Structures are given as structure tokens and as C-alpha cells.
Structure 1
Amino acid sequence: MATVSMRDMLKAGVHFGHQTRYWNPKMKPFIFGARNKVHIINLEKTVPMFNEALAELNKIAARKGKNPFRWY
């Protein structure tokens, strides 16, 4: 089963969030900090949850279930 590493996410720029003025307070636990008025996402929390979601999608695909995401 494929997993995504923190290095993969850093290369893809996943850690860059929205501008600090557009933040939602519910995201506070997942924000590492801010740089140049852009929030930096905490990848230590993101990577495990992303891989968990990826594993669930693999289970759905294995039993030929419907994919909850629509790819265009």
C-alpha cells in the first residue's frame, strides 16, 4: 500500500496554507506558525491523518466501492 512521507509533502508545498488574515480559528491546532503572512501547516499532524485517509480509500477501491471524490 502506498503512503506519503513528510518529505513528499514538503516537496509538493503542502505545508503552505492560506494567508493569515483568512484563517479559521478551528484550524489553530494544525497551524505550525506563520511566515510572510502565510500560515505554515503542521505536517507532523497532517501526514498520519492523510495516510489513514489514503488507506481507507484503498479499502473502498479494493471492494470496488464508490470513490467519494470526483476527479476531472
Structure 2
Amino acid sequence: MSVISMKQLLEAGVHFGHQTRRWNPKMAPYIYTERNGIYIIDLQKSVGMVDDAYKAV
């Protein structure tokens, strides 16, 4: 089970990324889509990364 749920991430607004003109190409695998000039982060990948970070700490 995840430490934090996808619903909690959505409610916190974690899925909102940077403006499309200010981005790092290394983030490309984690971008879900672009909407209104802002990148939307893939929360399915984020949940897994949060779990990995939690286990490391």
C-alpha cells in the first residue's frame, strides 16, 4: 500500500508542473500532458517515487 494516495496528491495540486516554456528535458518521462501552457505531471509515476523516497528515509 502507498504511503500517500493519488487522491491526496491530486487534492494537494501536485500534478501541476511548470509552464511549458520553462522545463527541463530530463522531466519528459514524468510529464503526462500539457494543458493551458502548463505541464501536467504523471501522478502514477509520482506515487511510486514517493514510496521509494519514503523507504529510503
TM-score (norm 1): 0.73
Q: Select the structure that is richer in strand.
A: 2
Map 1:1-72 → 2, pairs under 5 A: 3-57=3-57
Q: 5+ residue gaps in structure 2?
A: none
Q: If you compute each CA radius of gyration, which structure gives the higher value, 1 or 2?
A: 1
**Larger relative contact order (CA 8 Å, sep ≥ 6):** 2
Compute the displacement of 1:54 (Å).
Answer: 1.1
Compute the displacement of 1:21 (Å).
Answer: 0.2
Q: RMSD of aligned C-alpha atoms?
A: 1.2
